[in-house]
Chains A and B, each alone.
Chain A
Amino acid sequence: MRGMLRVAALACAVTIAIQTTGSTGHASVQDPLVALEAALQAAPDDIKAGNDYRMAVIKASQYDRAIAFFEKLTTAHPGASNAHLNYGFAYVDKIPAAGAITQVILANNALGEFTKSLDLKKSWIAYYTRGNSYLFWPRIFDRTQRGIDDLTEALKIQQAEPKRAIHARVYVALGDGYWKIGKLAEATRFWKEGLAAFPDHAGLQGRLSTEGDAQQKLIEANYDPAKRVDTSLADLWSTR
């Protein structure tokens, strides 16, 4: 109850501050992002609040605002692992709206934040996120093996936990990582392991039911920087 009051008070303070910025500011009293920002300021390590905020930012296409907000938030709360994680995702969310070079800068900044998050707390989501993001880098940057290493750690963590639907993603990504470095047998092994655990997973089914050019097309479509990556973490608190 006390926490809720703090959030409400902060939201009120932010609203007043924004009202005084005048009509040229991008925010307004109707701005749905204001309350979400206030909620995050009240609970910076709240991964769900960060996720809700980012999803609203994507709808409003206010990527720079989110990046600036998370920068301030993580400066004020440097120990908030999940704030750094969402900060990283805020960079990723902007990638489809950016030019080719800026995409690289954003992706690199995202990696930096994912690493900070991981340094603070070695969680499944942090390992999976950073590992998966390494897979988006072209081969020339030689980052795929680092991705495989992170995903292997994520796999170890999830194998010690009760099975959840989101865990299927690690099998997909691990297989993709091995596929990217040309180890097709390893890739297939992880996809098959994943499918055994999650028989209805379309991504795993697709990879195992194709080969050659069709398989390449399917996998590469997943790592196209021009396409928006689904960065919603809603599956994390899914009951499945």
Chain B
Amino acid sequence: MRIAALVLASFLVSAAPGFEDVTKTSGITHVHRNRKFENKYANIMAGYTALGASAAVADYDGDGYDDLFVTDSAVGGRNRLYRNKGNFTFADVTPGSGIDSGNDAANASADSMWFDYNNDGRPDLFIPRFGRSQLFKNLGGGKFSNVSKAAKVDTFANAITAVAFDYDRDGDLDLFVGSYFQPVNLFDPETPRFFPESFETANNGGGLTAYRNNGDGTFTDATEKLGLRLSGWTLDLGHADANNDGVEDLYVAADFGTDRFFLGNKDGTFTDLTEKAIGIDTKKGMNVDWGDFDNDGLLDIYVTNITDDYMREGNFLWKNNGNLTFTDVSRETGTFDTGWGWGARFFDYDNDGWLDLYVTNGWVSAGKENYVPDIFEMIVKPNIDLADARNWPPMGDKSLSGYQKKKLFHNERGQVFTDQAPKYGVDSIKDGRGVAVADFDNDGRLDMYVANANGEPYLYRNTLEGIGSWTEFVLVGIKSNKGAVGAQVRITAGGRTQLRFVDGGNGFASQGSARIHAGIGTATTIEKVEIRWPSGERQTFENIPANRIMRVTEGRTAPEPLKPGGSSR
């Protein structure tokens, strides 16, 4: 009898609503594998290149369901495109699509990002790589064509992240690529001096490259002209309009040195406002995501760093002060310590109208021995040349900040965040990298795909019950870029106004849905929706019914319900 009661109790616990791990039943069989280097620095590099597990969401076939692209990094490893069948199962449609050539002896996939570079309404795919990055043109019908060379974006670099937005407001998406190492051939380095020269002020990294979209299918390197020449160890880029002036601004998260904040100017250039806006830091910036966590109408920034027993850097939760300065409130809000942080994403998982936060973490989870003493033994050697890879200790099977529990921070009305990950079973200890958030089954509850390094991913279906109402908008630009990247949407319901925006790939190793989603709690109607399109045009709609996905086309008089099913492209 007691056993029966225990079995029943355990069933009740596992069936409790929250997030259900549906990876096994979803048809997603992809397993990420780290790149294994075969050169004389291989035993050192293995520990510093456990990267490349990424996930990017877009409705590539226009059927009203968000699809998923994921990367591998091993030699010969296949990147995969999963078509969402709408019932939380996915079909691997990679074979024959033309986009599975992501990894070979000279190139390793590091990230992935959808963006409609040719403004034809079909999301195209960019894959930053250690080596030469790839751009695939979406031809429709599930076919893609490699246009990297023709588009002039296959520059040799150790690219690790990318975002796309229309910095010059000419109606097409420009491309910003962040690189980690300098453009040395990591697979066969000609010099041993390609490691960071400092743990806190390194300036021998890959920086970033800004490509202006010429509007004819080609791009031009405009980095210098835009004032974005950097030499840090870029790990992530995140854009948003910090001061609501209609121009996108840019945050650069860098490992081994200071992050950077660039103000976008109306003339299409950028001004480095780092010192005034966020100050100079010495941390290990990993992730950038923007979101208005306190519903004050200004977009804030979340950056993960390293926090562990041996190094207590702490994350940044940059509260936007409204005057192009930010204050770190991570300690006050309980978001300071997430271990060795990686991808993190704002999203409202319980539809209560406040942006919550999921944070992945963990560097290398391997053997019982810890790599930390080896690292510190090196660090304290007088006059050590850190740039020389030969001075770094081999990692072997040792762990470094491994087996760390992921965090699901619930936003308590913009004041503090409380970790609900254990409660909902999303506190895995795999080495997380990217987190892609989307409403995969169009039920108004946001789901998560977590990409793990050297391991299986997690697909978490949101099954929370009794939560708030919601609204979703698919935006289509006309004067603006087709994907409406950069559009701001202010949603008023239940007397509260929330700010959301369409981002072009924010978040480390991840890209969430381009759809606008907002939880509206107990409200039944959206009183007002104000859209500020990237073109500058503004539209306002009133009395929109809740719990529906609406499609809004720039300049059209009314939103229309999205009708999923069937492929329109």
Q: Which residues of A contact B (CB under 8 A)?
A: 98-102, 104-105, 108-109, 138-141, 224-226
Contacts and interface: CB of A to CB of B under 8 A. Distances in A.
A90 B113 CA distance: 49
A108 B370 CA distance: 19
A99 B282 contact: yes
A225 B309 CA distance: 11
B373 A102 contact: no
Contacts of B373: 140-141
Question: Which 10 pairs, one residue from A and one from B, show the smallest C-beta to C-beta distance?
Answer: A99-B282, A101-B199, A99-B200, A138-B309, A108-B380, A100-B311, A138-B310, A100-B313, A140-B372, A101-B200
Contact of B200 (A102, A109, A141): A102
A100 B306 contact: yes
A235 to B, nearest CB: 28
B370 A100 contact: no
Given A99-B283, A104-B380, A140 B310 contact: yes
Contacts of A105: 379-380
The DSSP consensus for interface residues of chain A is helix
B376 interface: yes
Contacts of B312: 100, 224-226
7 contacts: A100-B200, A100-B282, A100-B306, A101-B379, A105-B380, A141-B310, A226-B312
Contacts of B199: 99, 101-102
Nearest to B313: A100
Nearest to B200: A99
Interface in B279-320: 281-283, 306, 309-313
- Max count, chain B CB within 10 A of own CB: residue among A98, A104, A224, A226: A104
A148 B366 CA distance: 32
Contacts of B310: 104, 138, 140-141
Contact of B282 (A102, A138, A224, A226): A102
Contacts of B376: 104, 141
Contacts of B370: 140
Nearest to A141: B373
A60 B17 CA distance: 57
A98 B282 CA distance: 8
Contacts of A108: 380
Contacts of A109: 380
Given A99-B283, A100-B283, A101-B200, A139 B313 contact: no
A141 B306 CA distance: 18
A157 B509 CA distance: 58
Given A101-B200, A102-B282, 17 more contacts: A99-B200, A99-B283, A100-B282, A100-B311, A100-B312, A101-B199, A101-B282, A102-B200, A104-B310, A105-B380, A108-B380, A109-B380, A139-B309, A140-B372, A141-B310, A141-B373, A224-B312
A144 to B, nearest CB: 13
A100 B306 CA distance: 9
A105 B377 CA distance: 10
Interface of B: 199-200, 281-283, 306, 309-313, 370, 372-373, 376, 379-380
Contacts of A138: 309-310
A100 B312 CA distance: 7
Nearest to A138: B309
A99 B258 CA distance: 11
Nearest to B384: A105
B330 to A, nearest CB: 13
A224 B331 CA distance: 14
A139 B373 CA distance: 11
A139 B312 CA distance: 14
A211 B65 CA distance: 54
Nearest to B376: A104
Contacts of A101: 199-200, 282, 311, 379
B187 to A, nearest CB: 28
Nearest to A112: B380
Contacts of B372: 140-141
Nearest to B256: A101
A225 B373 CA distance: 18
Contacts of A139: 309
Contacts of A98: 282
B398 to A, nearest CB: 12
A162 B199 CA distance: 47
Nearest to B199: A101
A51 B173 CA distance: 60
Contacts of B309: 138-140
Contacts of A104: 310-311, 376, 379-380
- Max count, chain B CB within 10 A of own CB: residue among A101, A139, A140, A225: A101
A232 B372 CA distance: 32
- Max count, chain A CB within 10 A of own CB: residue among B281, B283, B310, B313: B310
B283 to A, nearest CB: 7
- Max count, chain A CB within 10 A of own CB: residue among B309, B312, B380: B380
- Max count, chain B CB within 10 A of own CB: residue among A99, A109, A138, A224: A99
A101 B386 CA distance: 13
Nearest to B198: A101
Contacts of A224: 312
A68 to B, nearest CB: 15
Contacts of B282: 98-102
Nearest to B284: A100
Nearest to A226: B312
A32 to B, nearest CB: 28
A100 B340 CA distance: 13
A100 B401 CA distance: 15
A101 B379 CA distance: 8
A108 B379 CA distance: 10
Nearest to B201: A99
A139 B380 CA distance: 18
A92 to B, nearest CB: 15
Nearest to B307: A100
Contacts of A99: 199-200, 281-283, 313
A111 to B, nearest CB: 9
A99 B372 CA distance: 17
Nearest to B380: A108
Contacts of A102: 199-200, 282
Contacts of B283: 99-100
A141 B379 CA distance: 14
B70 to A, nearest CB: 33
B364 to A, nearest CB: 15
Nearest to A224: B312
Nearest to A100: B311
B384 to A, nearest CB: 10
A100 B310 CA distance: 9
A102 B198 CA distance: 10
B332 to A, nearest CB: 15
B374 to A, nearest CB: 11
A102 B373 CA distance: 15
Contacts of B306: 100
A95 to B, nearest CB: 12
A98 B309 CA distance: 17
A138 B199 CA distance: 19
